[in-house]
Amino acid sequence: MNHPSPSGTAPFVLSVLDNAFTGVGHTVNETYSEIISLAKLADRRGFQRFWMSEHHAMPGAAIPSPLLMAARLTGETERIRLGAGGIMLPNHVPLVIAEQVGMLETLAPGRIDLGLGRAPGTDGATAAALRRHASANDEFPEQIAELLGFLGNDFPQGHPYAGVPAVPGPWQADENRVPHSETSADVWILGSSVYSAQVAARLGRPYAFALQFGSADILNAMRIYRENFRPSPFLDTPYSLVSIGAIADEDPAEARRQATSTAMAMLRMFQRKPFALLPPEEVAAYPANLHERQILEEYTDRTIHGTAAEVAAGLEDLQRQTGVDEVMLVTGGYLRRTQAHTLELLADHYSMPAA
């Protein structure tokens, strides 16, 4: 994996994560069309990568299969890296993921990322319907090793899957007497705890920390990752990324209004209700008690919101604290056009390529 250069005048690399947020009153057709438009915009404006995350059984998040959406985006974009941020590996069979990634890498050589997480991406009942068992999280390192074995066709001799190839992949190239692909997907470890930092360090893989989920101990996780990093054939030195919610608007009050919709969706999850994005007007009218109001305020403020200059200042402060190489904007807001506007404003602020 190569370390990319900073984006424009930013002191870090800038990327985008789209959760396929679908507000109440909007269709999935609209969301998918706007995801394509957002990926094209990010591609034109010089963002490094465009990731999508796996969620199930949520009215407000519409991508259960990020790799399927990435396949569409390979034909809609030209240079931006595409991928999953992430695939919740315990929900899947590693061989199938290896096959799908092989297809994507063939369609867009050198542009595919595969971020691996262990959270279910849903509620307990849906996790059970996905055939995810109670000890799935404990098996995460073994599942990663199995996936990497399929991707590289390099299981050790005597491994039960040593004779099972992932196609497309190196085995098929050998059988068909053609050269191996000169590129391969970059595999990332995702998480929001020191556990994931330890796994990424041990494997010598890039590490992405999801700060949008809560006030987790990112400083300790980054320290553990860097101190314990083992160079690998894929990465010589540590490379880290933090994802954080961000909404920019010329009117800072409007940016905050849009951020309240995601905060309300989080409150609904705590109330054991579906993750749904309500219009800001409904959020403002909700008769919250003191505890609920505290949750709404907390999650609203976890999204960096304001003018482009204010959001940029927040991102730069976060990067100074964490020392990460890359910041990934988790685009949010009730209105999908808020996301495109945020990218445009920040790209302009950092003098990134003109659309």
C-alpha dihedral (107, 113, 114, 115), degrees to nearest 10: -160
Report yes or no: 329 and 246 within 8 Å, Cβ to Cβ: yes
Q: What is the pLDDT of residue 354?
A: 87
Report yes or no: 144 and 89 within 8 Å, Cβ to Cβ: yes
CA contacts within 13 A on the Cβ side of 181: 22
Residue 144 C-alpha from the chain's centroid: 17
295: phi then psi, degrees, rounded to nearest 5: -65, -45
User: pLDDT, tens digit, for every residue of 159-217?
Assistant: 999 999 999 999 999 999 999 999 999 999 999 989 999 999 999 999 999 998 766 78
DSSP letter (8 states) at residue 21? B
Residue 114 is encoded by which pair of tokens? 């595969």
Three-class SS of residue 198? Answer: helix
Measured distance CA(311)–CA(51) in Å, rounded: 20
Q: What is the pLDDT of residue 183?
A: 92
CA angle 161, 163, 167 (to 5 degrees): 95
Residue 220 CA: distances (Å) to CA of 9, 240, 298, 323, 329: 28, 13, 22, 12, 22
Q: What is the pLDDT of residue 33?
A: 97
What's the pTM value of the predicted model, to 2 decimals?
A: 0.95
Report yes or no: 210 and 191 within 8 Å, Cβ to Cβ: yes
Measured distance CA(270)–CA(147) in Å, rounded: 33
Report yes or no: 54 and 84 within 8 Å, Cβ to Cβ: yes
Print pLDDT tens along the chain (355 aa).
989 999 999 999 999 999 999 999 999 999 999 999 999 999 999 999 999 999 999 999 999 999 999 999 999 999 999 999 889 999 999 999 999 999 999 999 999 999 999 988 788 888 888 877 777 778 999 999 999 999 999 999 999 999 999 999 999 999 999 999 999 999 999 999 899 999 999 999 999 999 987 667 899 999 999 999 999 999 999 999 999 999 999 999 999 999 999 999 999 999 999 999 999 999 999 999 999 999 999 999 999 999 999 999 999 999 999 999 999 999 899 999 999 999 999 999 999 998 6
